[in-house]
Structure 1
Amino acid sequence: MRTFDLTPLYRSAIGFDRLANLLEQRADAQPSYPPYNIELVSENNYRIVMALAGFSRAEIEIITERDALHVTGRKQKDEQQKTFLHRGIAARDFEQRFQLANHVKVTTASFDNGMLTIDLVREVPEALKPRKIAIDGGENVQVIEQPQAA
C-alpha cells in the first residue's frame, strides 16, 4: 500500500491543513460500493452519477448537511427466499459521503434506469468574488471594475 507524506505541504502552505487532511483520508480509503462518477459539466456545475442496480427510489435517501452530501441506500428484505446460481448484482446497503467545497449546493437529483444523478452548482457570493482595486495616494479605495465570472 502506498503512503503519502504531506508534511512538506503543511510547512509551505498556510490555511491548507484541512485540504491536506482530506487528501490523506481519501488516500487511505478503500474503493467503495456503489460505483460512481464525478463530472465537471461547466466551470461552476458538477454532476455525480451513481450506478444503483436493484434499488428503487424509495430505498435511496439523499441528505445535505453543511459541507457534506450523504447518499444512503437501504435495500428492503425480500419476503421470499431465492436460490442463486450466480449472484453478480450486490444490491447491498450502502452509505456514500462526499465532501463539498465551499459554496457548492445540490440543485437536483434524479433516478432513471438504475442511475442516480445528482447535479451540483458552485454559487460564490458577490462579496467573495475578486475585485480590481485602484491604487491612489489617499485614504479612499475606489473599485474600478468587477471581473465577470464565466
Structure 2
Amino acid sequence: MKQLLVMVLCAALLIGCNTNRTLSYEEVTMKDLDKGDQVFYQHAQAENGVYLFYDTSDDKLVIYFNTSHENQEDYAVDFTNFDVESDGDTLHILYDKNQDEGESKTFQEQQFYEVQLDKEYETIELFENGDMAAFTSIYS
C-alpha cells in the first residue's frame, strides 16, 4: 500500500512539474493588454524608444515600440522582423528599425509584442538591426 501511495505521489509531482511552456510571442494592440500592462504603457508613452515590461506573475514580457514623438514630416520609422531567441540563460530580443526618408510616409506610432517565457532568464539582451542596443526603460 505504501509503494502505491509513493508511486501516485511521484507521478503527481512529475505531472505537476511538467508545464510544457514554450518561448513564443505575438503582436498585440493596446486594448489587448491587461490593466496592469496598460499602467506601464501610460508611463512609457512620454518619449520615443523601446520599453520592456516584465510581468513576473504571468512569466511574460511586453515589448513596446514608441515612435509617436518622431517628426513625421522628415521620415517614417518602422519596426520589423521582431523575434525572440533563447541561448541558455540569456533571452535575445531582435528587431530591425527602418527609417524611410523617401516618398512613402507609412508610420506606425506604436507596436506591442507580448512574449510568453518558457523559463526564467538571467539576462535579456536587445538587438537592433543586429547590433546590441539598450531599452529606453524597464518596468516590472
Q: Establish whether TM, by shorter chain, passes 0.5.
A: no
Which structure is higher in helix share? 2
TM range (shorter): 0.3 to 0.5
TM-score by length of 1: 0.31
Which has the higher Rg, Structure 1 or Structure 2?
A: 1
Which structure is higher in strand share? 2
